[in-house]
Each structure stands twice: as structure tokens, then as C-alpha cells.
Amino acid sequence: MSHHDTEDHLEDIPLEALPLDAWHRARGARMVPFAGYEMPIQYEGIVAEHNWTRENAGLFDVSHMGQLYISGECVEAALEAVLPIDLSTLKHGNPRYSLLLDENGGVLDDLMVTRWSEGFYLVVNGATKWDDIGHLREHLPDEITISHMDETALLALQGPKAFTVLERLVTGDTPLALLTFMKGAAFKLGGVDAWISRSGYTGEDGFEISLPYEAVAAVADLICAQPEVKPIGLGARDSLRLEAGLPLYGHDMTPETSPIEAGLIFGINKRRRTEGGFPGADRIIREINEGTARKWVGLTIDGRLPAREGAEVFVGSDQVGIVTSGGFSPTLGSPIAMAYVAREHAAVGTALEVEVRGKRLAATVTPTPFVPHRYYRGN
């Protein structure tokens, strides 16, 4: 599970502790290195936690993520110069998916951008947050302020019962029921000021909750005291996002991948697809028009043996692709994977083979998500 960057340098980077470190250990979590932190990979077991989240509600500690607040004069134009996003269509409080790109259109990170009253709130990946801050400092004008909200924790409450639980615990000017998928607002949660958005990384309905470090243990206790909720580790977070067909930065996309081959065109807003004016725009607009040599696809694999990241994909004796994420799907009871394959072999239904431990396993290109999303978009 550990991000390849942290694996290479474990000896020379002291791992940071999450604000809930003692809380996780007290609940029997097995801790592993991930994104420079010690993170809980599981409590009672990955499959049990995965199934619990699909049926009830799971609480995830995602405080390793980077939370940034970007403000200052002409912040909107400044941010549009570094992100392929159309901020004119972004309403207050609503998060939107976007991408941080290098000059060649390679993906430096994927992130969420929310308009707050005076500026923009960004949530970036834990393993890349320091690089992201450096990149933004370098590419944003001096009058723009980048505040790293390093005293702020982030929790995710995910699953079909997440709404029932949270509605019981929050007060605010906005009824929680008015928050549909990808909308956010300020609430009090157990008397604590929290920013809550209806979003997540599991394919289930759910919420992400940003709140002060010093309050996070009390709030986590309050949420986990509800009978519908259990704490869930990184292992099930990975199997849930895999079933939901959601890419993981550093695995399914890197600076070597373009957002178009990764199927992330929705991270580049419509107006920007023609106007450009963001890093790598020339290449990306060309790829939108002409297509890419390879495509990111879902694979279902025969048998029980999971194909992991790095497994090679074949048609006959020709290698035509590589697996970027893979594992056993608890919901489907079979192995699934995501891979880049040559465009001519990327159509749904194409028969391929994946090499796992020296064996060729039959695989089929399958639409994602593997398990249907259950986001709440209103009635």
C-alpha cells in the first residue's frame, strides 16, 4: 500500500504521526508507512471493513492529505493559469475535481478545489503535498497567499448510512439534506466548527469533514459511538476505490501520464478545452482532438489470483499494456484491475491476458466503475 516515493526513502524520512495516531492504536489498528505518515491499514480485516462500508458507514482518517487555502488579489485568474479549471462556473462551497499539470501536460497531482468566501480551498494528495506547495509558490504571483492548513484534520464518513449518522450529529444554517454530491457547507459537529462536503473516494454516498486537529479525537469518538459506524483502514479504502474505478495518484497517473489517456478529461473544464492557457494545454488539446496511443481501462480477471501494479498485459506474444492498480474485489468475489493498454486493444469486451507470477491469466476489458456509484445527487 505504501506510495513508491515513501518506500524508496523510508530510512531517511522520519514518519509523521496522524493527529489520531493514539486513537487508531487504541482501536487495534495495524499501522504502515504511507505518504510519509504512519497510517492504519486495517483494524479487524480489510474485507470485513470493505463490506461494512458498502452496507453501513465507515470512518476514514485522511488527515495525511494536504489542505491549502489560496487567497489574494486576482486569485481566480492566478489559479486558472496553473489549473485547467473554469472557476467562473464554480459556486461557493462546491468542490470540483481538477489537476495540477506540468509544462508537458503530465499529471503532478489530482485535487479538489472549493470556492470559499475570499479564496479557494484545495485538498491535495498526502504524498505530493510538499511538491504541490512548492509548485504553486513558484507558479502563482507573489501577491497570492498559500496557507497550508497544517492544524486541520480531515475525516471521511462513507457508506449508505453516512447521511443518517451525520444528520443526527450536525447543526448549521444549511440542512444536511440539501448537500447533494459535490456540494459543501459549514456546520457544527459535536459543537466543533467543521467544513463538510458530500464527496469521497469509495463510490458510496458520503462526506468529507475538515476540522481542527485538537477536536478530531472527540469528533471521531462521537461518530464511532453511532451503531452504524466503524473505523476503516487504508486497505479497504484501496479496495473500495478500485471497485469504484477511481484512480490513485502515483499509481494510475503520474507525470508520465496525460490526463486524456487516463480518462480524466472531466478534470479539464469545457471552456479551457478550447481556450487553453494552462500548463501543457497544447498537448492536451491535441490529444482531445486526435486521441492517445494508449487508454486507461478496467479489467476483470479469470480465477482468484489478483494482478497487482506492474503486471504486464498481453495479446498473444505482444505486450500491449501494464496494470496500474489491481486487487481482489470483495463485492464481486473476483480479481479486478486497471491498466493502460494500446488504443486498438482498449474496447470494452476485448480479450487480453495478464501475466501474474509467470502465469498468463485471461482478462477482459470491462467498463468502470466495476461496482455502480451510489452518490446522492438529490431524489
- Give the neighbor-by-neighbor strand order of the sheet with 170-171: 170-171, 184-189, 192-197, 206-212, 152-158, 57-61, 229-231
Q: What is the mean pLDDT of residues 234-244?
A: 98
- Dist. CA 164–CA 148, nearest whole Å: 32
d(Cα 110, Cα 105) in Å, to the nearest integer? 13
Judge whether residue 60 has pLDDT over 70: yes
Q: Per residue in 248-273, pLDDT tens?
A: 999 999 999 999 999 999 999 999 99
**Residue (of 176, 258, 164, 203) closest to 50 by Cα position:** 203
% of the chain beyond a pLDDT of 90 = 95
Q: How far apart are CA 158 and CA 290, in angstroms?
A: 38
Q: Distance between CA 171 and CA 187 in Å, rounded?
A: 6
Angle between helices 75-82 and 129-139 (to 10 degrees): 120
CA distance 125 to 139: 19
> What torsion do the CA atoms of 106, 328, 158, 324 make, to the nearest 10 degrees?
0
9 pLDDT higher than 60: no
Share of the chain above pLDDT 70, in %: 97
Task: Give pLDDT tens digits for 118-151.
Answer: 999 999 999 999 999 999 999 999 999 999 999 9
- pLDDT score for 5: 42
The confidence band for 379, taking pLDDT boundaries of 50, 70 and 90, is confident
Please give the sequence-ordered ranges of beta strands (E in DSSP) within 248-317, or none if there are none. Answer: 294-301, 312-315
For the full predicted model, state whether its pTM sits above 0.85.
yes
Mean per-residue pLDDT of the chain = 95
Residue 154: all three cell numbers together: 480531515
Report whether 311 contacts 337 (CB < 8 A). Answer: yes
**Alpha-carbon span 109 to 125, nearest angstrom:** 7
CB count within 10 Å of CB 332 equals 12
The residue type at 113: V
Which domains are assigned to the chain? Answer: 4-63+151-243 (3.30.1360.120), 293-366 (2.40.30.110)
Q: Read off the pLDDT of each residue in 308-337 and give the average, rounded to a whole number.
A: 97
Residue with cell 500500500: 1
Q: How far apart are CA 227 and CA 254, in angstroms?
A: 40
